């Protein structure tokens, strides 16, 4: 544990940001898995894809994902959707 006051604060801030980022990443992964499952089943895929893309965009806006990573993941979902049709 750090001794300097500012270092102590940085530890606390980093822990809270890590928790927030982890929650966002977890929600993103869940949305993508649900979208992929919907594509595999062939039911409700449009809504699931829309929600997954929204989560990806939110993670990108918060700086959790790089913009190119976000674009790649969205493209991957849409490609799978089009291949399933």
Q: pLDDT value at position 6?
A: 97
Residue 57 has pLDDT above 90, yes or no: yes
The domain segmentation of the chain, as residue ranges, is 5-84
Q: What's the pLDDT tens digit per position in 5-52?
A: 999 999 999 999 999 999 999 999 999 999 999 999 988 889 999 999
5-84 belongs to CATH 1.20.58.110: yes
What is the pLDDT, as a whole number, of residue 26?
Answer: 97
Amino acid 84: pLDDT: 85
pTM of the model: 0.88
SS in 3 state form for the chain? Answer: CCCCHHHHHHHHHHHHHHHHHHHHHHHHHHHHHHHHHHHHHCCCHHHHHHHHHHHHHHHHHCCCCCHHHHHHHHHHHHHHHHHHC
Average pLDDT over residues 48-63: 97
């Amino acid at each position: 544990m750090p001794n300097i006051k500012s270092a102590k604060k940085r530890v606390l801030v980093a822990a809270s940001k890590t928790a927030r980022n982890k929650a966002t990443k977890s929600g993103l992964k869940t949305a993508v898995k649900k979208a992929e499952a919907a594509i595999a089943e062939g039911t409700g895929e449009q809504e699931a894809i829309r929600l997954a893309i929204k989560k990806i965009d939110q993670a990108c806006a918060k700086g959790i994902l790089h913009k190119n990573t976000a674009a790649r993941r969205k493209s991957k979902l849409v490609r799978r959707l089009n291949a399933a049709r």
